[in-house]
Amino acid sequence: MSSDSPPTEELRRAPAAFTDRVTADGRFGREAVAGRYRLVINRACPWAHRAVIVRRLMGLEDAISLAVTDPLQEVIAGEDHWVFSEGTGSPGGKDPVLGIHALREAYLARDPRYTGGVSVPALVDVETGHLVTNDFDRLTLDLGAEWAPLARPGAPELYPEALRDEIDTLCEEIYQDLNNAVYRAGFAPDQKHYDAAVGAVFGRLDALEERLTGRRYLLGDALTEADIRLFPTLVRFDAVYHGHFKCNIRKLSEYPALWAYARDLFQTPGFGDTTHFGHIRTHYYYVHAAINPTRVIAAGPDTRGWLTAHHRESLGGAPFGAGTAPGPVPAGERL
């Protein structure tokens, strides 16, 4: 659906079109090899943000290169597409590694007959130029586990075996009621669908507020995949979801525990240093013309609040468990 078209039915996300997996042992035909793959993202996209966070926490910057598309999409053949531009470090509007202007070129290189949607994050094979996967759900799990042999010393265990069932259950609840529900509210075709979606959003936020009042992270004393999947929605909440998507019963900053938790994560290496508020506001307010036809981009809120003291360390725990923090952000990726 074009972002210029008003919604006529409830938003439904299509399943990932390409789901090849890259693993440590190559058991599905693709092996995790340093330099072979390029991760294509957009800084505005919460699903892509997850992948960037995991890549940074695991220290995979040298193993998997990063390509950043423009926060504004370009209309190609009547549909919006992720493209590369001078402003995001692509001379001549082409990615310097893949040599393409629009991400859809990697999709078509994989399947010339493909007519479906184009999404980020996308993992692309540098040697062939073919898209490998756009399965955002599986990608972070594999980056955190299957790429572990190429990870930095001290990389955290984000999906520990003993917690996987609990992580999976919690992540599904967060996805249904929050990650995706903010979109269902923003693009609701009528009052009934909006009311249901916004009710789910704040019901989940209320539950998370209670959960995080007495614990530092979602599953105890260290970061897991669950925290990584929650953060991109929280960091976008007051900036775009509260106003632009009409999720305005409360602001994130009005939840004492959640707001402190979100600031704790933001100030942890891998989270705030992968967040680009300028790209977030620009993309949402400009591209979603159906719900913001003037394309006026909001100026706020003031992001300095994200750097204020959170005092969550008093709850104990350590973000990386027995591991260590990642090093500095690579020079070409600093925000």
Q: Which residues are catalytic?
A: 45, 183
Q: What angle do CA 227, 66, 113 make, to 5 degrees?
A: 100
| DSSP designation for 149 | G
Euclidean distance between CA atoms 106 and 60, whole angstroms: 22
Euclidean distance between CA atoms 35 and 85, whole angstroms: 23
- Amino acid (1-letter code) at residue 256: P
Q: Which residues contact 245 (CB under 8 A, 6 or more apart)?
A: 182, 183, 185, 186, 291
Structure tokens at 305: 């609040």
Q: Which helix (H) or strand (E) holds 75?
A: strand 74-76
Q: Which residues contact 128 (CB under 8 A, 6 or more apart)?
A: 109
Q: Which residues contact 84 (CB under 8 A, 6 or more apart)?
A: 67, 69, 70, 90, 93, 94, 95, 100, 101, 102
CA separation (Å) from 104 to 40, 53, 71, 122, 245? 11, 24, 16, 10, 27
How would you class 40 by CB atoms within 10 Å of its CB: exposed for 0-12, middle for 13-18, buried for 19 or more?
A: buried
Cα four-point dihedral sign 5, 8, 12, 18: negative
CA distance between the termini of the chain: 31
Q: Please say whether the beta carbons of 65 and 56 come within 8 A.
A: no
| Beta carbons within 10 angstroms of residue 212's beta carbon | 23
